[in-house]
């Protein structure tokens, strides 16, 4: 090799190395982070992430900001999780439900009646167990960084015909989120669980592909599922699943340590801000649902709790110690 050739080769290699080492900060010089949610503009979760973006923009003098793509414009949650894993979406707010198939450890929070009530769920996600779970997601091979939690309230059943007991659910097809744990849950509750994307539920209820679904009042209202015919809302409160927002590991790794710390700080604030917005929205949307003719059916949910014991036994065995700690959380 001549001197010249060696020089060119070395310079090229150095340039490549240099390019690699400056690329991260270059990326973070003027970066609009792409965030996504299935919920529409104005929904508590969407607003909390948008406000996080405003704080980030201010703190970095506009170097980092967030643009939110709400209303499923980037796809359903399963597809958006995949896009986040490869870095096509930077920040995703999703139910923890469809994260289960990607990071099985989170399924402990996805089990029916694992939390006593919403206050219990909040105490768990705000405390050390919540942080450990975010860290487990980050440490997993899923290429996601757990940023923070959001409140998804309690999920209850809504159906075309009134349901008061597990026996009433017999023969009814009920849409569940994409995770086998939820299909097992509905089957144990007495119905037939059908796994389906959120975006397909309205038409599925309308055309009779399913007889109902289950969700919290803000989602039932904003997705208009009751207008497709499922107007009996039975207070089973069978799932209290925290929601989560995650960052693509691909994007996270391009942030400096200082920027990562900022994102973490504003994530915690977003977690708390969403909660205040959430509480207001549950009251507001419950009133709107009632005004629109949705019948809220109060029941004793103990029969549903009892019926789902085998699901807790099946999925909970591997989390026995953690479940003890969850139960001990006040």
Give contact residues for ligand BDP (rule: CB under 6 A): 38, 77, 94-95, 152, 177, 198, 215-216, 219, 243
Contact between 122 and 279 under an 8 Å Cβ cutoff? The reply is no
When the beta carbons of 166 and 199 are compared against ligand BDP, the nearer one is: 199
Two tokens at 230? 């499922």
CB of 231 vs ligand BDP, minimal distance in Å: 18
The secondary structure of residue 319, as a DSSP letter, is: G
CB of 213 vs ligand BDP, minimal distance in Å: 7
Give the containing element (helix H, strand E) for 66.
strand 64-69
Residues in contact with 96: Cβ distance below 8 Å, sequence separation at least 6, in sequence order = 106, 109, 110, 241, 242, 243, 244
The secondary structure of residue 93, as a DSSP letter, is: E
When the beta carbons of 50 and 259 are compared against ligand BDP, the nearer one is: 50
CB of 72 vs ligand BDP, minimal distance in Å: 9
Edge-to-edge order in the sheet of strand 232-239: 192-195, 173-176, 212-215, 155-159, 232-239, 295-297
CB of 178 vs ligand BDP, minimal distance in Å: 8
Residues in contact with 73: Cβ distance below 8 Å, sequence separation at least 6, in sequence order = 36
> Rounded distance, CA 173 to CA 209, Å?
8
When the beta carbons of 219 and 237 are compared against ligand BDP, the nearer one is: 219
DSSP H helices in the chain: 3-27, 44-59, 77-86, 118-126, 128-139, 180-189, 201-206, 217-222, 249-252, 257-291, 302-307, 309-316, 320-328
CB of 28 vs ligand BDP, minimal distance in Å: 28
When the beta carbons of 95 and 329 are compared against ligand BDP, the nearer one is: 95
CB of 222 vs ligand BDP, minimal distance in Å: 9
Contact between 271 and 130 under an 8 Å Cβ cutoff? The reply is no
CB of 164 vs ligand BDP, minimal distance in Å: 23
When the beta carbons of 28 and 100 are compared against ligand BDP, the nearer one is: 100
At 146, phi and psi to the nearest 5? Answer: -75, 115
When the beta carbons of 163 and 201 are compared against ligand BDP, the nearer one is: 201
> Rounded distance, CA 21 to CA 221, Å?
49
When the beta carbons of 71 and 316 are compared against ligand BDP, the nearer one is: 71
């Amino acid at each position: 090799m001549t001197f010249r050739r060696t020089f060119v080769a070395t310079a090229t290699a150095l340039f490549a190395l240099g390019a690699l080492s400056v690329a991260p900060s270059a990326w973070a010089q003027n970066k609009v982070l792409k965030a996504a949610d299935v919920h529409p503009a104005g929904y508590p979760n969407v607003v909390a992430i948008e406000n996080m973006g405003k704080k980030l923009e201010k703190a970095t003098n506009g170097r980092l900001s967030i643009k939110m793509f709400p209303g499923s414009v980037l796809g359903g949650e399963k597809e958006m999780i995949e896009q986040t894993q490869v870095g096509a979406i930077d920040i995703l707010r999703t139910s923890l439900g469809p994260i289960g198939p990607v990071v099985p450890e989170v399924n402990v929070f996805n089990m029916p009646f694992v939390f006593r009530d919403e206050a219990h769920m909040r105490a768990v996600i705000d405390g050390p167990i919540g942080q450990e779970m975010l860290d487990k997601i980050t440490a997993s091979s899923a290429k996601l960084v757990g940023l923070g939690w959001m409140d998804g309230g309690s999920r209850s059943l809504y159906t075309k015909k009134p349901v008061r007991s597990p026996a009433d659910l017999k023969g009814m097809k009920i849409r569940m989120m994409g995770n086998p744990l939820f299909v097992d849950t509905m089957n144990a509750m007495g119905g037939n669980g059908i796994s389906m994307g959120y975006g397909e539920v309205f038409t599925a209820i309308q055309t009779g592909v399913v007889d109902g679904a289950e969700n919290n009042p803000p989602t039932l209202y904003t997705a208009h599922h009751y207008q497709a015919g499922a107007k009996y809302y039975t207070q089973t409160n069978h799932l209290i699943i925290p929601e989560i927002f995650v960052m693509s590991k691909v994007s996270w790794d391009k942030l400096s340590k200082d920027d990562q710390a900022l994102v973490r700080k504003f994530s915690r604030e977003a977690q708390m801000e969403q909660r205040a917005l959430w509480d207001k929205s549950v009251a507001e949307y419950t009133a709107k649902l009632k005004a629109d003719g949705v019948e809220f059916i109060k029941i004793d949910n103990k029969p549903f709790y009892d019926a789902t014991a085998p699901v807790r036994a099946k999925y909970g065995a591997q989390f026995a110690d953690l479940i003890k700690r969850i139960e001990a959380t006040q």
